[in-house]
Amino acid sequence: MLLALDERDFAPKVAQARGAVVELDAAIRSEHLRHKADLDQLEQERKLLDFANADVARFERLQKENFYSQTAVDQSRASLSQRQITLRGRELTISDHEARLAQLNARLMQAQANLDQARLALERSRVTAPFDGYVAKVLVAVGDQVNTGQTLISLYPSDALEVRAKIPATHQDGLLALLAKGAHPVALASGGVKLQLDRAASAADARGLDGFFRVVDAGPGLRLGSLITVEMALPPVADAIAVPYDALYNGRTVYRIDGDRLQAVAVEVVGELPGAKPMLLVRGGLAQGDRLMLTHLPNAVTGLKVEVTAK
């Protein structure tokens, strides 16, 4: 659990909503019982109406024979009318049962929704971590009043960190080709963090292209917002030769020593070879065993006579 709001702000609303549900449940049961009683009484009302019709017919016949007065006949007719009104009222009550039941069920659905909402609010009043991670910020203190939509705490998952680093323009094409083939080169970062290139940004700038590295092994020191140094081993390059940095002229030429003469050789820089003494990886007209000039001469040209000395 990360945070807990005061339960007293939520429990009464749950109890109130639960009471409304219980009340409507009871009203629906009462409606069913009332409807059953109305059906039973309907048969009795019809029998009483039949009796009243028979009484009117009998009294009218006896009145013609001067056995009953007109008053008695009128009373029997009034009783018949009353029975008819009572029967019609009972029939109306029965026919209106479905409508009353639908209204009660609709109110019950609304009350149940209110109860669910109140329970959800009570449940959300206790904020539990949805994942393993790190708490970045706590923006409230005990006793603070908070509002809906207010940020109370921020955290991030420990297993979803990624590193964003610039890929130099000279290596973008090769790495994008690897990603397109489904390959994900491995990289190492300071602190023993192991990374894997996951994807590249869709837009670049003058400094290069953003690469996004998935953290394979974070180690104990990696945190959100940390600045780290990332080193990535590029895939092997065919026909590449490692040469010292001092051997490169104008970013594209090295001088091979043939006997005691210089020979300019055009090369293409394809990468770097890390180590205690970093080297350049070049590709061109060189072979293993070639001797290269390391001393920078401002007048270096093909055919210049040189003397080889130990450095």
Tell me the mean pLDDT in the region 95-117.
90
Cα→Cα distances 213→183, 187, 189, 194, 273, Å = 13, 8, 10, 9, 21
Count of the separate structural domains present in the chain: 4
Domain that holds residue 183: 162-232
What gap in Å lies between CA 55 and CA 62, rounded to an integer? 10
In residues, how long is the chain?
A: 311
pLDDT range class, residue 157, cuts 50, 70, 90: confident
Task: Please tell me whether residues 48 and 95 are part of one structural domain.
Answer: yes
214 vs 274, more confident: 214
Tell me the mean pLDDT in the region 214-222.
79
Of 164, 168, 163, 165, the C-alpha closest to 207 is 168
Bridge partners of 138, per DSSP, are 153
**pLDDT at position 22 over 90:** yes
Task: Please tell me whether residues 119 and 26 are part of one structural domain.
Answer: yes
Task: Please tell me whether residues 292 and 253 are part of one structural domain.
Answer: yes
pLDDT, residue 65, reads 61
pLDDT range class, residue 288, cuts 50, 70, 90: confident
Task: Please tell me whether residues 59 and 89 are part of one structural domain.
Answer: yes
What mean pLDDT is reported for the chain?
84
pLDDT, residue 284, reads 87
**pLDDT at position 111 over 90:** yes
24 vs 225, more confident: 24
Task: Please tell me whether residues 84 and 140 are part of one structural domain.
Answer: no
pLDDT, residue 7, reads 87
**pLDDT at position 183 over 70:** yes
pLDDT range class, residue 68, cuts 50, 70, 90: low
**pLDDT at position 56 over 70:** no
Task: Please tell me whether residues 48 and 135 are part of one structural domain.
Answer: no
End residue of a domain, out of 213, 232, 251: 232
**pLDDT at position 38 over 90:** no
End residue of a domain, out of 114, 143, 158: 158
Task: Please tell me whether residues 53 and 105 are part of one structural domain.
Answer: yes
Task: Please tell me whether residues 110 and 135 are part of one structural domain.
Answer: no
**pLDDT at position 76 over 80:** no
Lowest mean pLDDT among 34-38, 40-44, 240-244: 40-44
Task: Please tell me whether residues 135 and 91 are part of one structural domain.
Answer: no
Lowest mean pLDDT among 66-80, 108-122, 133-147, 258-272: 66-80
Highest mean pLDDT among 13-22, 57-66, 175-184, 222-231: 13-22
Residues 6+ apart with CB under 8 A from 84: 49
Task: Please tell me whether residues 204 and 220 are part of one structural domain.
Answer: yes
pLDDT, residue 16, reads 92
Task: Please tell me whether residues 8 and 102 are part of one structural domain.
Answer: yes
Task: Please tell me whether residues 11 and 113 are part of one structural domain.
Answer: yes
**pLDDT at position 216 over 90:** no
pLDDT, residue 60, reads 62
Give the percent of the chain with pLDDT over 90: 26
83 vs 130, more confident: 130
- pTM (2 decimals)? 0.49
Both tokens of 113, joined, read 């929704």
Three-state DSSP class for residue 224: coil
Are 264 and 293 in contact, with CB atoms under 8 Å apart?
A: no
